[in-house]
Amino acid sequence: MSTPKIVLVTGAGAGLGRAMTHALTAAGHQVVAVGRTRATLDETAAAAPGPGGVDVVPADVTDPGAVDEVFAHITRQWGRLDVLVNNAGIFGPSKPIDELSAREWRQVVDINLTGAFLCAQAAFRLMKTQTPRGGRIINNGSISAHTPRPNTVAYAASKHGITGLTKALNLEGRAHDIAVGQIDIGNAATELTAGIAAGSLQADGSVRPEPTIDAAHVARVVAQTIDLPLDVNVPFVTVMATGMPYIGRG
C-alpha cells in the first residue's frame, strides 16, 4: 500500500483524468478532482475504487480566480498538496494553419498551456510554504510535445510549450523540494483519440488506422511515479502504443 497523499488531478471528468483518478484512489490516495463539469466529475467519483477518496471541485483552469479558489479549498480541507497532475487539455480542430482562427488557437493554448501554468504557479506557492515542504508536479505532455501530427499547429505548439514549462519548473523547484516531470502519452484510448483507431492523417498524406492502448496503463505509470520519494524525479517518460508511427520514419 502506498503512503496516502493529497493529489490534485485536473481534467478529471473523463478520459485519462478519470483513469488517473481511479488508479490513485485504488492506491489509497485522496484525489481532488478538478474539471469544468460537475456531472462528469461526479461520475468519476462514483466509480472510483477505494481505499482512497475523491473530492470533487468544479473549476475552469484557465480562470486565475477559479484556480485560486481550488487551492484555497485544498488548504482549508486537506491542509497541504503533495502532488499536482496537470492533465486538463483539448486537441482542438484539425485544420491547416491558414484556416485556424485566433479564437480556436487561444482556446487550445489557454487550456493546455496557460491552465497548466496557473495550476503549477498555485502549487508552487503552497508547496514552498507547507510543512513538510515540497511536492511533485506531473505535466501531461504528449507525443506531440516532440513530433506533431499534420494540421495540429495549436495543439503541437501548446504541448511543446508544456515541455518548456516542465524544464523551467524542474530547475526552479530544486531549491524547494518540488520535483517536476512530464509524461508524454501516445494513443491512449480516450474520447480525445477516438478517431485514431479508425484512421488518422499521416505526414505523407495517407490516412491509416493506428494502434491504441488502454488509458489504465498510463494511469499506472502516474501512480508509480507518485510513490517515488521527492529526491527521485522522472523528468520525462513516454508511454505509447508500441506500433504507432512515431519512432523512425513512419
Structural domain that includes position 227: 6-240
Residue 61 sits at the vertex; the CA angle it makes with 51 and 221, to the nearest 5 degrees, is: 45
What letter would DSSP give residue 213? E
Domain count, the chain: 1
- 140 part of a folded domain: yes
- 1 part of a folded domain: no
- 245 part of a folded domain: no
Residue with the bigger pLDDT between 147 and 24: it is 24
Q: What is the CATH number of the domain that holds 220?
A: 3.40.50.720
Out of 155, 159, 190, 212, the active site residue is 155
178-186 and 236-240 strand pairing: parallel
Closest CA to 106 of 115, 98, 51: 115
- 250 part of a folded domain: no
Helices (H) and strands (E) in the chain, counts: 7, 11
- 37 part of a folded domain: yes
Q: Is 60 exceeded by the pLDDT of residue 1?
A: no
- pLDDT tens for residues 36-77? 999 999 999 999 999 999 999 999 999 999 999 999 999 999
pLDDT of res. 58: 98
- 183 part of a folded domain: yes
Question: Strand, coil or helix: what is 175?
Answer: helix
d(CA 215, CA 200): 19
Mean pLDDT (the chain) is 93
- pLDDT tens for residues 166-211? 999 999 999 999 999 999 988 777 776 667 767 777 777 787 877 7
155 is catalytic: yes
Closest CA to 140 of 108, 168, 182, 169: 182
Residue with the bigger pLDDT between 199 and 248: it is 199
DSSP code string of 79-104: S---EEEE--------B-GGG--HHH
